[in-house]
Structure 1
Amino acid sequence: MKPNVRLLRKSRQYSEEFKKQVVADFESGELSVRQLSKLHGIANPVIYRWIYKFSNFNEKGFRVVEMEDSSGKKMKEMEARIKELEAALGRKQIQVEYFEKMIELAKTELDIDIKKNYSTPQSTGSEKIKKK
């Protein structure tokens, strides 16, 4: 005969300082709830409870929602945006070089000075022009 053996549920007690540190890690954006859960071996709902209790940003009536893979998705979006901006910058740089070459050719071959000549006086464009 087997003795009557029940599995005892182990309950762990965490200090308030530890709970606040876990919440601070979440708020800093370094770790997600899922990562904290795996790191410390704590269930997600427990961590969310701590966030509601100890968070500096938590206001009554608001719910903290974390999108799965949100940080990874944001990182991919930002990398794509950086590539897009680098491509636009490259196109603009090519245009600038083209325009500078055209200005140089206009000066050497056509003897036209397109760049502003700083020795010329300012125009008096604000004066009224008399009609004939």
Structure 2
Amino acid sequence: MKPNVRLLRKHRRYSDEFKKQIVADFEIGKFSVYQLSRLHGVHSTLIYRWIYKFSTFNEKGVRVVEMENSSSKKMKEMEARIKELEAALGRKQIQVDYFEKMIELAKTELDIDIKKNYSTPQSTGSGKTKKK
């Protein structure tokens, strides 16, 4: 048993350049705070302090909230949405091509000009209704 022996805490000092580099890695989205913490052996609260101090995006009094995999999840959702919209656009383009071909066939085989049908009389509307 060792009486009167206290554990000495190791205090590490980090240079401003090191802190700014970590903040820059976080800002460009290269790493999350958790990943930076694991990579450099620095506690995440300390990294958040550096973000508040050195970040160009964060203002004083604004809180940084980082969701786990939020940016990658959002990116995957956006990519899925883009694929869905491209597929819908492709289907619509096929429909347009189909309708144009049908109009062309109606003109050549049935001698009906659907695009420029001037012989159709204009509509006079639904007529006047009686007021009660």
Tell whether the structures are fold-level matches, with TM greater than 0.5.
Answer: yes
The residue that corresponds to 1:10 in the other structure is 10
The residue that corresponds to 2:55 in the other structure is 55
CA distance in 2, matches of 1:113, 1:7: 95
The residue that corresponds to 1:29 in the other structure is 29
**Residues paired across the two proteins, number:** 116
Q: CA deviation at 1:83?
A: 2.4
Task: State percent identity of aligned pairs.
Answer: 84
Moved over 4 A (4+): 1-7, 113-116
- Unpaired runs of 5+ residues, structure 2, are 117-132
**Amino acid of the residue matched to residue 30 of structure 1?**
K
The residue that corresponds to 2:39 in the other structure is 39
The residue that corresponds to 2:69 in the other structure is 69
Q: CA deviation at 1:67?
A: 1.1
TM-score by length of 1: 0.74
SS of 1:76 mapped into structure 2: helix
Q: CA deviation at 1:113?
A: 4.3
The residue that corresponds to 2:125 in the other structure is none
CA distance in 2, matches of 1:87, 1:6: 68
CA distance in 2, matches of 1:22, 1:61: 21
